[in-house]
Amino acid sequence: MRKSYLPVMLLIMSFFSFQGLTAQENDENATTANSHWQAGINYLSNDVYLGRKDSMNLPYITPAIGYYHKSGLFVSGSLSYSSSAAQSQLDLFELVAGYTFTSNKLDGEISFSKDFYNSKSYGVKSETKGSLDGSLSYDFGFVKPTIETGISFNKRPDYSVAFGLEHSFYAADNKLEIAPSFLLNASTQNYYSSYYSKRKYALKRKKGNTTGGATITAYLPNAGEFKIMDYEFSIPVNYTAGDFTFNFTPTFAAPTNPAIVVLTVKPVAGNSYTKTFTEKISDVFYWSAGVSYNF
């Protein structure tokens, strides 16, 4: 488990090292940058995380508002409403605070988020309480590599690292940006084990996960192992018109390393039994679209 801390600590140390080296330039930029508010709304066709998703489609409508100071500090809040026909409810409230910087071709961000999920949420991350995340990217011109890493807070913490590549194309006087991207995600899966244990087979689900009143529980015996979770290909499209920005992002996720699940069935009458199986995973396509306004 100790090795899992290394990517996170290296990124945080690198972030503050770069931040110190570029402090003078950032101070100069701060004199010309404008502090502003940003409000927006986004639609997500399905809640997918690291190639994993619930058996029920979970589309989200998410209004958000944030304040971005010229120093790079920011704070934001969002509400995600599940618009599924089978489950319409306020699913998630999230608060985020962080710091961003840009120096020449180097971009960086560190942030802390606090998540409040509905007790009836069936999102695969619904047992997550929050996270500490950081990212660094450098634009070489022909390609922009990115490294992202984070710690998610669950009953047991999860550690994640992502490596990405992207290249931006501009048109319409730079108002239109198209940025084909590739992302490799690796992580532990304690969050996923908690989802299996408390959410996936919950008795209160509208679509029954029990047979004849039997209670089903499950967990992942290898949830603490750090593995590649999925490969993601996306094409973010952004168009800026004055203070408005319109975005559309189609994403194709190819999950890998399916989880081993230990499942226990407790019938109303008779003896309990346990079985172990490997979950079935498949490629998934989803998309998001939204608009934001700076003021």
pLDDT at 68: 98
Distance CA 166, CA 139 (A): 9
- Asked if residues 119 and 91 have their Cβ atoms less than 8 Å apart, the reply is no
Residue 272, token pair as written in the block: 């309990």
The letter for the amino acid at 170 is Y
Distance CA 245, CA 251 (A): 19
Q: What is the pLDDT of residues 85-106, one digit of tens each?
A: 888 999 999 999 999 999 999 9
Distance CA 61, CA 78 (A): 10
**Residue 6 pLDDT exceeds 60:** no
> How do the domains of the chain map onto residue ranges?
2-205+224-258+284-294
Distance CA 63, CA 38 (A): 11
**CATH architecture of the region 2-205+224-258+284-294:** Beta Barrel (2.40)
**Residue 292 pLDDT exceeds 80:** yes
Q: What is the pTM of this model?
A: 0.86
Cα–Cα–Cα angle for 281, 283, 284, rounded to 5 degrees: 110
Distance CA 166, CA 143 (A): 6
Q: What is the pLDDT of residues 240-274, one digit of tens each?
A: 999 999 999 999 999 999 999 999 998 888 889 99
pLDDT at 269: 82
The percentage of the chain sitting over the pLDDT mark of 90, rounded to a whole number, equals 78
DSSP string computed for 53-77: --SS---EEEEEEEEE-TTSEEEEE
Residues in Cβ contact with 168 at an 8 Å cutoff, skipping those fewer than 6 apart: 144, 177, 178, 179
